[in-house]
Structure 1
Amino acid sequence: MTQYKYIHGYQEIEQERLRHQARVIEKPIYDYIDFSEQRELLEIGSGVGAQTEILLKKFPHLKITGVEYEAKQIEKAEKNLNLSGYTAPQVRFIQQDARKLVLDRKFDSAFICWVLEHISDPIQVLKSMKPHLLPNAKVVITEVFNATFYTYPSIPAIMDYWRIYNDYQVQIGGDPQVGAKLGDLLEASGYTNISLRSGGFHLDSRHFEDKKTVFNYWKNLMSSGAPMLLEEGLINEAQIHAMQNAMDELTAKEDSIFYYRFIQATATP
């Protein structure tokens, strides 16, 4: 399969970060997701199985088919899920391009999380998925809205790095603001009953421990793009360390503020 650039890369440390990330932000995402009445779920961009594992823990009756483009991610996902006691036929992973799906069954639910931000033509993914869904299937999509990231105090070493990070994602065909466009993307792809909500974090001195956890998670998220940004000559080591040190400074500062919003959409085909 043709290799596409992925800002986070596929190193083992990144694969583990994805699992940690899923746990850190599990509550604000899954508090508003209910697949209790669904049976067969299609997960697009299943990666290392981090979200798959959460879905199965919350909804153990589900059978999940995960579609993933990168073979290394599937290998890691199968290992992770097997270690947690989940095996076929309850869960299976298929290597395919989500823009050209060829599947052997129809599903009564679909789940996409942090995937469309990396794809140059998300409408093609949504259109490709639609024929494989049963009428009235429940579709849930969670995506980034990176323009909402805010810290107090604002530190140039962080915000300059964040700008470079997001500009590069656009350069390689992604969209760091795709969450804000989910309603239009779903409508253009032929979906109905579209509903949008904003979720995320607004953490200040009242949530000091939670704030420390999220600041650390966000530092790791930004750091995950560093190898690609270095390779492209867009940053240097000093800028990486300056960003990381500034994030540590905010983590320790009692009156610092962390703010970020993602967008969550539900729809039917």
Structure 2
Amino acid sequence: MTTTTPIDYVHGYSAHETRRLGDQADTLAQLLHADTAYPAGSEVLEVGCGVGAQTVHLVEASPEAHFTAVDVSAASLAQARARVTALFPQAHVTWHQANLFELPFADAEFDHIFVCFVLEHLAAPRQALSALRRVLRPGGTLTVIEGDHGSTFFHPHSPYAHAAIDCLIQLQAAPGANALIGRELHPLIAGAGYDDVTVRPRTVNTDRSRPTLVDGFTRNTFIAMIESVRKEALAAGLITPSDWDRGIADLHRTAADDGTFHYTFFKAVAVNPQSP
């Protein structure tokens, strides 16, 4: 497989996954997007828009910006268009099916680029970031958001729950992707040639005092994500059925009234260097 060949999306394209992505984006909108807004008339490229779960929040925060949303999946793009149009019929969004390594845009066409939960699914994230510089004007900004599945800790502690999470990490790693990429954002982005790179953690801590987060993130986003790879984890021999079932049960235990769950996202902002 060449470095520019897309890796199959480990979570699949089911209706369940579409709902999970929506739950995730809506639950985390304030945490991840509160400080992201683009000026009126600016040209913004969203790479890997998927089903539009993040796109709706970008449009809501910057209604006068002009967005171009790109994804490799035609089916996901159709869902994204329907989602955004239903909520914001006057939104300035154009849609393109394309591989991010082969973007059909002119040099320096965009003022800003937004990338969310994409790099973890790539075998060559640094090369992808370098490729994006071509279509970003000098002085334009790059925003990247990624998770890190190794950042989880919870109560009650359970080695079985950690083993279930590690199954997803291993499944993503097998074809060359990286579920631990959040911790690597600064060196990745700087190594791709961007200036003024800043990375800040965005932590989610759920307990009974935050019932919306318990449902929206712990249950409907994170645990649902782990549960979705049961078949693949067992087929790969990464875990026994009994240990998997205990791990999932223990993850659900963290969402009980006396449980807690913690996860860290990382948000980076950088600048494309001015031409010499």
Question: Would you say the 8 A contact 2:147–2:265 is kept in 1?
Answer: yes
| TM-superposition CA deviations, 1:114-168 (whole Å, max 9, x none) | 1100000011211111111112112110011221111111123311101111011
1:32 match: secondary structure: coil
Q: Distance in 2 between matches of 1:158 and 1:204?
A: 17
Q: Distance in 2 between matches of 1:222 and 1:72?
A: 23
1:67 match: secondary structure: strand
1:87-166 alignment to 2 at 5 Å?
90-104=92-106, 106-166=109-169
Partner of residue 224, structure 1: 228
Question: Would you say the 8 A contact 1:215–1:251 is kept in 2?
Answer: yes
1:186 match: secondary structure: helix
1:235-254 alignment to 2 at 5 Å?
235=239, 238-254=242-258
Q: Distance in 2 between matches of 1:2 and 1:225?
A: 22
Partner of residue 41, structure 1: 44
Across the aligned residues of Structure 1 and Structure 2, the Cα RMSD in angstroms comes to 2.3
Equivalent residue pairs, number: 267
How far is the alpha carbon of 1:240 from its aligned partner? 4.8
1:1-269 alignment to 2 at 5 Å?
4-36=7-39, 39-86=42-89, 90-104=92-106, 106-204=109-207, 206-207=209-210, 210-217=213-220, 218-230=222-234, 232-235=236-239, 238-254=242-258, 256-269=259-272
2:263 match: secondary structure: strand
How far is the alpha carbon of 1:76 from its aligned partner? 1.4
Question: Would you say the 8 A contact 2:169–2:180 is kept in 1?
Answer: no
1:95 maps to amino acid: Q
How far is the alpha carbon of 1:113 from its aligned partner? 0.6
| Aligned CA distance change for structure 1 residues 26 and 87 (closer, same or farther; 3 Å) | same
| Aligned CA distance change for structure 1 residues 68 and 209 (closer, same or farther; 3 Å) | closer
Question: Would you say the 8 A contact 1:45–1:69 is kept in 2?
Answer: yes
| Aligned CA distance change for structure 1 residues 110 and 238 (closer, same or farther; 3 Å) | same
1:47 match: secondary structure: coil
Gaps of 5+ in 2: none
Question: Would you say the 8 A contact 1:81–1:87 is kept in 2?
Answer: no
| Aligned CA distance change for structure 1 residues 205 and 78 (closer, same or farther; 3 Å) | closer
More helix by share: 1
2:100 maps to amino acid: A
Q: Distance in 2 between matches of 1:132 and 1:162?
A: 36
How far is the alpha carbon of 1:203 from its aligned partner? 3.1
Gaps of 5+ in 1: none
| TM-superposition CA deviations, 1:183-236 (whole Å, max 9, x none) | 111111111111110112123454455334432132112123334435545456
Q: Distance in 2 between matches of 1:38 and 1:87?
A: 14
Percent identity, aligned pairs only, is: 25
Question: Would you say the 8 A contact 2:149–2:263 is kept in 1?
Answer: yes
1:265 maps to amino acid: A
Q: Distance in 2 between matches of 1:16 and 1:214?
A: 12
User: TM-score, normalized by length of structure 1?
Assistant: 0.90
1:50 maps to amino acid: A
